């Protein structure tokens, strides 16, 4: 069986979309793997805003970014992603080329602290408005746990309902029904 690594798929799509000097948002920083990838992709003149509600996750992410010498181009923000507009000033919003949501709970962390349908949907809607034309909205979904299943169904339905009119959509599923799924939407 061919195993699809969604992290790899997500990073390949990001690389194909982002240019040096672009701006990016990681809506779920966690341990900072995606944030680090984005920070490298946008380069020294680019900028990344990275959100998480857990200070402990941001602490780990900060160490990772320091080690890679890219912290200067990243804003680590301890707040819910549905409030991203409060942290990204209107004059800074031009050039946001990619927004990543890696939903669910922190690997190795408290599984009760997970993304929730209502705030996720609100944040996705705001993200679509913030995204540059031809930019990428990447969402990794985890239907293998109860909240994640609800979230996966809600996100897929909402994307239909919101009629985002994307220029391209890719829906990547892993072989198991309960495995993670990647939804990639280009504006
Ligand atoms: C699957 S992890 C993210 C993995 C991460 N992208 C990485 O590269 O390590 C999901 C993260 O979302 C965070 N989270 C949950 N609800 C959130 C919210 N409303 N706003 C921002 N982050 C949230 C969790 O604390 C957790 O760290």
Positive or negative CA dihedral for 33, 120, 17, 179? positive
Asked if residue 2 has pLDDT above 80, the reply is no
Report yes or no on 91 lying in a domain.
yes
Q: Residue written as tokens 């220029």?
A: 167
DSSP 66-98: HHTT-GGGEEEEES-GGGGGGTS-GGG-TTEEE
What pLDDT score does 1 carry? Answer: 41
pLDDT(4) > 80: no
Residue 150 lies in a domain: yes
**Whose CA is closest to 115, among 105, 107, 125, 123?**
105
Residue 53 Cβ inside 6 Å of ligand 1? The answer reads yes
Res. 165: pLDDT tops 90: no
Q: Give the distance (Å) from ligand 1 centre to CA of residue 53.
A: 7
Q: How far is CA 152 from the centre of its chain?
A: 14
Q: Out of 11-25, 73-87, 167-181, pick the least confident.
A: 167-181
Domain membership flag for residue 160: yes
- 30 Cα–ligand 1 center, Å: 5
Ligand 1 geometric centre to CA of 102 (Å): 7
Find the domain containing 17 and state its range: 6-186
CATH of the domain at 21: 3.40.50.150
Residue nearest to atom 12 of ligand 1 (CA): 28
Query: How many domains, the chain?
Result: 1
Residue 28 included in any domain? yes
Distance 154 CA to ligand 1 centre (A): 18
Within-domain flag for 50? yes
DSSP string, 119-159: HHHHHHHHHHHHSPTT-EEEEEE-TTSHHHHHHHHHHHHHH
Q: Please report whether residue 1 resides in a domain.
A: no
Lookup: tokens for 111:
């599984």
The Cα 22–Cα 45 span in angstroms is 8
Does residue 92 contact residue 67 with C-beta atoms inside 8 Å? no
91 — pLDDT class (breaks 50, 70, 90)? very high
Model confidence pLDDT, tens digit, residues 124-164:
999 999 999 999 999 999 999 888 999 999 999 988 877 77
Per-residue pLDDT reduced to its tens digit, 43-79: 999 999 999 999 999 999 999 999 999 999 999 999 9
Q: Is 50 in the pocket of ligand 1 (CB under 6 A)?
A: no
- Confidence band for 174, pLDDT divided at 50, 70 and 90: confident
């Amino acid at each position: 069986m061919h195993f699809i690594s969604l992290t790899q798929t997500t990073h390949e799509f990001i690389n194909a979309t982002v240019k040096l000097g672009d701006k990016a948002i990681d809506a779920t920083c966690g341990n900072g793997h995606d944030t680090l990838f984005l920070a490298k992709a946008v380069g020294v003149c680019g900028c990344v805003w990275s959100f998480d509600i857990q200070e402990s996750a941001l602490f780990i992410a900060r160490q990772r970014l320091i080690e890679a010498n890219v912290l200067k181009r990243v804003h680590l923000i301890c707040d819910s992603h549905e409030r991203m507009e409060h942290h990204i000033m209107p004059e800074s919003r031009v050039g946001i080329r990619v927004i990543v949501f890696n939903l669910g709970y922190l690997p190795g962390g408290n599984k009760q602290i997970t993304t929730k349908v209502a705030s996720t949907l609100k944040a996705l809607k705001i993200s679509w408005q913030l995204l540059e034309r031809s930019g990428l909205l990447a969402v990794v979904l985890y239907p293998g746990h109860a909240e994640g299943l609800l979230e996966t169904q809600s996100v897929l339905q909402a994307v239909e309902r919101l009629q985002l009119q994307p220029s391209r959509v890719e829906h990547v599923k892993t072989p198991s029904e309960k495995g993670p799924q990647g939804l990639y939407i280009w504006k």
